[in-house]
Amino acid sequence: MSLALYVCLKIRKEHSPFVNYVVWRAVAAIEMRGVVKRFGAITAVDGLDLEVPPGICLGLLGPNGAGKSTTMRMLTGQALADEGSITVLGHELPGEAKEARAEMGVVPQLDNLDVDVSVEDNLAVFARLYRVKDVPAAVDRGLALARLGGRRRDPVDELSGGMRRRLLLARGLTHDPPLLLLDEPTVGLDPQIRTELWSLIDSLRTKGTTILMSTHYIEEAERLADEVALMTHGKIISRGKPSDLVAQHAGRETAEVYAPPERLAEVRANAEAVGLKVRPAGPAIAIVGAEKATNGVVPPEAIVRAASLEDVFVLLTGEEAE
Amino acid sequence: MRRLEPAAIGGVMSREVANFRTFWKATTFSSVLEPVVYLLAFGLGLGATIVDRVDGLSYVEYVGTGMVATAVIFSSAFPAMFGTFVKERFQRTYDAILAAPVDVEELVTAEMLWIGLRSGFFGCFPLLVSMLFGLDPAPGMLLVPLFAFITALIFAGFGIAVAASVAKIDQFNYVTTLFITPLFLVAGTFFPIDQLPEAVQIASLLNPLHHLVELVRHACFGFETWDLLRVAVLIAFAVAMWRVAVHRMEKRLID
């Protein structure tokens, strides 16, 4: 670490915007080293190493129970690691968790808005919690971001599901944080609302906000993330740009074969005999890396398509993709 | 960042105020009507038929002043127990708050202060209603909101600690039956505790509600020197329950 950065880290308690900006741009937004979290006999996070450089959107992709939400909770200090070290925006956790939370925004998986309270009051409360000096201006910014200016005095329980999700996102951004944690941001939403939220998240990424987004939706990770970290059983098993992960683990082409079970078993055996990876794909099987297949291994009835992140996900995690 | 930052405590309390604005009418309605019902039932009913005077007071004056304690425990322990449990388990409000720069100690402090302020205010309603039934105003009554506030802090802390300790909401029934009802009945609200067995009288010294009842009566009819000690006991209870509540909530909210 350079002397200048060390000095910046030490004097940032003065809350100088310039010093904070220097720190946010110079250090990894998130650094987790050998992090372990156990709940009794269950190890939810198992020696996790994760670094998120500033300015990128990292998708933490994994099946349910992979340890994504526990990882998110550890980053806010709501869960304490049993082993390892965690640094967020240069703040060491758990000792400086409050300082770290002051500089990050969190959008939870489950809606925890105050439903009887108006839209603007929901935003105002969090502007105060985040020590925003000009609360009315922060509320107006939030309303504009969530596109809820016309509903500012309505109670939250009168909003649609999509509006509530937008409000949750705006609530996490009332203090304009350099780092945003999104925990399954579109889980349970219909495709139209999901697309709407993706545009909103995309605009934040373009603006330079560092985003760590946990998701179990392949499409979401592909659409939003600069890099994807595949997580299962509490560990990162692979990480890279979506296209690099596909090239590394799934090759160029995947052949999907739809046929009766006996025929599928025969095709699978042929493909595996020549060292190709085969995965289930609903009622079909998918031969991954089909471009490397020798004659006859990929049957003529197969549908050949470009390999995808879904292929990588299923191959590496052993789980069906959503 | 410092511990117990006023900005964090104020932020959490502002959330409570925003929510309270949506249901204040119902709370005010029950706070006014409940003492009226009790005074009619016990004060006029019992007072007119069975009991004449207690400790030199008319039964309406006796019950009316004692009812402050009832109002305080009901408006502090129950909102603390149920409110905390619902916010933690069902609404996940605390997950949202603790994702902001607020720690558990600040959260609990804010919740206790808000319940204390609310109870301090609504706890005075029985006294106001009693005035309509003939209780004479006295300067000492101006201190009743303070006594009610301190006592409400105790029961707010108690309720929060209980909510952070139970696994299911049904388990509040045990707490109500084993703790709240006995405390409420042997506080000296409806009958003097000096008629009870000596062991119960000694135990009642550990009952904050009893001290509140005595303080309110003395505020209305003349303070005694011992009342300073009663205030000190209430403050000590409040501090102790605050620490217990913080500890229990840290266990519950931080994995």
Residues A106, A189, single domain; the answer is yes
Residues A142, A270, single domain; the answer is no
For chain A positions 33-72, those within 8 Å of chain B (CB to CB) are: 37, 39, 70
Please tell me the total count of domains within chain A.
2
B4 class by beta-carbon count within 10 Å (0-12 exposed, 13-18 middle, 19+ buried) = exposed
Nearest CB partner across the interface for A80, out of B8, B95, B254: B254
Q: Whole-number mean pLDDT of chain B?
A: 92
Q: Say how many residues make up chain B.
A: 255
Q: Out of A226, A245, A264, pick the residue that ends a domain.
A: A245
Cβ-based contacts of A109 with chain B (< 8 Å): none
Residues A184, A88, single domain; the answer is yes
Cβ-based contacts of A118 with chain B (< 8 Å): 18
Which of B93, B10, B17 is closest to A118 using CA atoms? B17
Q: Among residues of chain A, what percentage have pLDDT more than 70?
A: 91
Lowest mean pLDDT across A180-184, A294-298, B117-121? A294-298
Cβ-based contacts of A110 with chain B (< 8 Å): 92, 95
Chains A, B: CB contacts within 8 A come to: 91
The confidence score (pLDDT) of residue A4 equals: 64
A132 belongs to a structural domain: yes
Q: What is the domain-level CATH number for residue A290?
A: 3.30.70
Most confident of A252-261, A301-310, B17-26: B17-26
For chain A positions 142-171, those within 8 Å of chain B (CB to CB) are: 155, 171
Q: Among residues of chain A, what percentage have pLDDT more than 90?
A: 53
A87 belongs to a structural domain: yes
Residues A189, A236, single domain; the answer is yes
Per the CB < 8 A criterion, the answer to whether A89 and A27 are in contact is yes
The confidence score (pLDDT) of residue A16 equals: 66
Residues A175, A293, single domain; the answer is no
Calpha distance B162→A183 (Å, rounded):
30
ipTM: 0.89
Using the 8-state DSSP alphabet, how is residue A302 labeled? P
Per the CB < 8 A criterion, the answer to whether A167 and A108 are in contact is no
Residues A193, A293, single domain; the answer is no
More confident residue, A316 or A36: A36
A71 belongs to a structural domain: yes
Per the CB < 8 A criterion, the answer to whether A225 and A242 are in contact is yes
Whether pLDDT at A322 is above 70 = no
Whether pLDDT at B48 is above 80 = no
Look up residue A203 and give its amino acid.
S
In the β-sheet with A104-107, what is the strand arrangement from edge to edge? A104-107, A179-183, A210-215, A57-61, A227-232, A235-240
A318 belongs to a structural domain: no
Map residue A280 onto helix, strand or coil. strand
Interface test with A, best of B89, B98, B249, B253 (most A CBs within 10 A): B98
Nearest CB partner across the interface for B93, out of A112, A118, A131: A112
Residues A50, A124, single domain; the answer is yes
A93 belongs to a structural domain: yes
How many of the other CB atoms lie within 10 Å of CB of B107?
Answer: 26
Cβ-based contacts of B100 with chain A (< 8 Å): 101-102, 106, 126, 129-130
Calpha distance A112→B98 (Å, rounded):
12
Domain extent, residue A261, equals 252-306
Residue of B nearest to A12 (CA): B1
**How confident is the model over A5-60, as pLDDT tens digits?**
666 666 665 556 666 666 666 678 999 999 999 999 999 999 999 999 999 999 99
Calpha distance A105→A134 (Å, rounded):
18
**How confident is the model over B156-170, as pLDDT tens digits?**
999 999 999 999 999
Calpha distance B23→B41 (Å, rounded):
27
Residues A289, A147, single domain; the answer is no
Which of B169, B151, B180 is closest to B82 using CA atoms? B169
Q: What is the domain-level CATH number for residue A36?
A: 3.40.50.300
In the β-sheet with A30-39, what is the strand arrangement from edge to edge? A42-52, A30-39, A83-88, A91-93
A322 belongs to a structural domain: no
**How confident is the model over A181-218, as pLDDT tens digits?**
999 888 878 888 888 889 989 999 888 899 999 988 88
Which of A301, A246, A297 is closest to A276 using CA atoms? A297
Residue of B nearest to A97 (CA): B101
Residues A262, A191, single domain; the answer is no
A51 belongs to a structural domain: yes
- Cβ of residue B91 closer than 8 Å to a chain A Cβ: yes
More confident residue, B53 or A254: A254
A320 belongs to a structural domain: no
Cβ-based contacts of A101 with chain B (< 8 Å): 99-102
Q: Check CB contact under 8 Å for B98 and A78.
A: yes
Whole-structure pTM value: 0.89
Nearest CB partner across the interface for A112, out of B21, B22, B95: B95
